[in-house]
Each structure stands twice: as C-alpha cells, then as structure tokens.
Structure 1
Amino acid sequence: MGRPAIKVFSEVEYLALERKSSEKHFFYNGEIYAMAGASYEHNVIEDNLRLSIGNHLKGKSCRSFGCNLRMQVPGHSFYTYPDIMVICGDPVFRTDTFDTVTNPTILVEILSEGTADYDKGLKFDLYRYFQSLQEYVLVDSRKQHVLVYSRNDNGSWTMVEYKEAADRFRLHSIDLELSLADCYTGLNLPAA
C-alpha cells in the first residue's frame, strides 16, 4: 500500500487560506504545515527579548515584530512567522496587501525540542537567502544557550555560542548588547 497523495497548494491558495485561518501555518514547496503552540518558557523568553529589543529601538529607524507578522523568502516558496523579527528602514511587502514582508534585518527563533533541528537546519538554509538579514539568533528554551549567527562582509556567516548567564552578546545591526540573563529573566533553566 502506497503513501497517500499529498495535496500541493500554490502560493496564492496558501495565502488565501492563511488570511482566513484563525491559526498560523507555514508554507514550503506547496505544502502547508500547522505551527505548534509554544511552552511557558518560550513565551517568557520571547517577552523578555521583545521588551529589551523594542525599548532599545524606540525612536530609531528599526522596529521589532512578534510572531504574528508573516514573511516570505524572496524567490522561494517559503512563508513563515519567526518568533521575533527586526526590520530596519521601511518594510518591503510581497504584495500590496501589507501582510507579508521580505526584508528582515534580524531573526530570532526560540528553540524547543521539536523545532531545534529545523530552526538550525532547513530554516536557516532558507533564511540565508534574505539579502537584508544580518543576524540570526537561536535561543534555547530548555537550557541557557544562545547561538548568534552574523553575516560577514563577504556574505559568509560566523556563529558564536553563549552558555553562561553572565555572557553578553551584541546585535551589531542595531547596536544592542544583551546578556543571557536578559533572555532568561524569570526562568530557572540549567546552564548549557
């Protein structure tokens, strides 16, 4: 007995369905996937980072967004909702409906057991196609562990790992320094 046929959707069909849906879905190569709910730890980390980044950006030309703004990798049939996105300058929209952006400067994903491999692998492979992307930050929700990927002038990427509560990391594109303690305030997670 063979595998059942998978329905393949066009980008237009996905966007029409997504605009009517009360739940969020990501889209990749014609397939639609439901996005999982987030843990308490995930929500605390997201809140901590959104407050720190948002407060830092007040009055500046960059703006942070939570997980409700959809983005698309230009030239690829991949649409998703990052946990946190920073856009510097004016947002560039995919269409004139103003609900799908294509020019993130910083993307932050909060890792869970179910998403860690995907966020470090296929998702980052696709995110690197954003010419505007300068930093990709992965924050673990199970232990104190942050990975910061930064784009170099030649287009290559450098990764730096942070594991201690006192460790500080800089988001150069917005000139913001954060500590692991800033990420994990209110949580009692083990060190990596």
Structure 2
Amino acid sequence: MSLALRRAPRMRVAEFLEVIRDRPDEERWELLDGEAVLAPPPFERHQLIVTNLAMALYPLARARGGRSLIGFGLLNDEIDDCAPVADVVVRCGPLLPGGHARDPIVVAEVLSPATLHIDRGRKAEFYQSLRTLRTYLIVDQDEARVEVWSRGDGPDWSLRVLGLNDAIPLPDLGGEVPIAALYHGIPL
C-alpha cells in the first residue's frame, strides 16, 4: 500500500494580496513560491543598517523624483507565485495605492542568518527578473561587505563585491553611497 501526501495548492498573487489586506501593518508577509510566509521581526542591527541605507539613498532618489522605501513589496506580472518584501526599495513615479510596486530601480536586502538562502536564491532570481531594476544590493550585517549586482540596459548582470572604504556606484540615481555610511553606529 502506498500513501500520497496531498500538498496545498500554490497561492497566487491576487489571492495572497486579498488574504493580507486586513493584516496589521507590523506583520511582514511575503509570498515565496506560492507560500505565504510571515517574517519574524528583524534584529536591531539589521534595522539600523536598513535605516542607514534608506537614508543614504533618499537624497539621490529624491533628486530623480523618487524615494527610498523600507520594507516595501514587489510584484512582477510575469511571476504569479511570488511577492517578496525587500528591505529597501528605490522607485520613482506617482505614489502607489498599496504596498507593492512593479517598477523598482534599486532593491536591497540586508542578510540575516534566517533569510540568507532566500535573499541569495529565490528573491535574487525574482528581483533580477524585474525589467526596471538596475541594481540589487546584498548587504552583510556582520562585516562591511556589499555585493552589488548591476546591469545596464541589457539583460546581463554583473557582480562587484565592495568593502568599507568603497562606495556603491548608482549611475541610474546619478551618484554613489559610501559603504561606511551603511555601518554608521554599528560595531564591526
């Protein structure tokens, strides 16, 4: 005799957005590979890096008519089972009515031990599928190290790994962000 395990069907973006519509703002829900996932609250170190990065990006984004947003969701019309929430998103254009965008220019994730494999795996794949995205940052929280994934107008991505004395080049925002600014107030 054999047993078959029944797996719940994969949730789609429209259903996911309906399910989380009335959830409290402090709950950070993501849809990853068709599964709704509630992220645990991040540590203060993580949040300080996120805040430092968003503040460093803000003047560059504002000069281009955009803004830097913390904990903002992303959608892709071509991928219907994934709606991740990035640590930092830079986007331009009019304000959106909800908490998800389809048009980021820069996306950043600050690595946490619990999300390391997702940030480098499924989320990275998703982010790099977004047509408007030009830069994806993976920021280490334990050492001054930033992976800068970037692309021009073509489909190919390039990787640079930068350290404390470097600056993140952001040509689409017309400037750069010193990596030391991300770690301000954080012992390394």
TM-score, structure 1 normalization? 0.85
Q: Report the counterpart of residue 161 of structure 2 in structure 1.
A: 161
Post-superposition Cα deviations, 1:53-91, rounded to whole Å, max 9, x if no partner, equal 113333531211110x32212210211211110113346
| Mapping for residues 102-181 of structure 1, pairs under 5 Å | 102-163=102-163, 165-181=164-180
Partner Cα distance (1:57, 1:29) in 2: 30
Q: Report the counterpart of residue 81 of structure 1 in structure 2.
A: 85
Q: In structure 2, the residue corresponding to 1:15 is in which secondary structure?
A: helix
8 A Cα contact 1:63 1:88, kept in partner? yes
8 A Cα contact 2:10 2:35, kept in partner? yes
User: Is the aligned partner of 1:16 residue 2:18?
Assistant: yes
Q: Report the counterpart of residue 52 of structure 1 in structure 2.
A: 56
Alpha-carbon offset, residue 125 of structure 1: 1.1
8 A Cα contact 1:152 1:158, kept in partner? no
Ranges in structure 2 where 5+ consecutive residues have no aligned partner:
none
Q: CA RMSD in A?
A: 2.0
Q: In structure 1, the residue corresponding to 2:79 is in which secondary structure?
A: coil
Ranges in structure 1 where 5+ consecutive residues have no aligned partner:
none
Q: Aligned letter for 2:169?
A: R
Q: In structure 1, the residue corresponding to 2:147 is in which secondary structure?
A: strand
Partner Cα distance (1:29, 1:43) in 2: 25
Q: How many residues end up aligned between the 2 structures?
A: 183
Q: Report the counterpart of residue 8 of structure 2 in structure 1.
A: 6
8 A Cα contact 1:18 1:24, kept in partner? no
8 A Cα contact 2:64 2:173, kept in partner? no
8 A Cα contact 1:105 1:133, kept in partner? yes
Q: In structure 2, the residue corresponding to 1:105 is in which secondary structure?
A: strand
Q: Report the counterpart of residue 65 of structure 2 in structure 1.
A: 61
Alpha-carbon offset, residue 7 of structure 1: 5.4
Q: Report the counterpart of residue 183 of structure 1 in structure 2.
A: 182
User: Is the aligned partner of 1:33 residue 2:37?
Assistant: yes
**Inter-CA distance 28–117: structure 2 relative to 1 (3 Å threshold):** closer
Alpha-carbon offset, residue 6 of structure 1: 3.1
TM-score, structure 2 normalization? 0.87
Post-superposition Cα deviations, 1:135-176, rounded to whole Å, max 9, x if no partner, equal 00111112111010111333101110012x212221111022
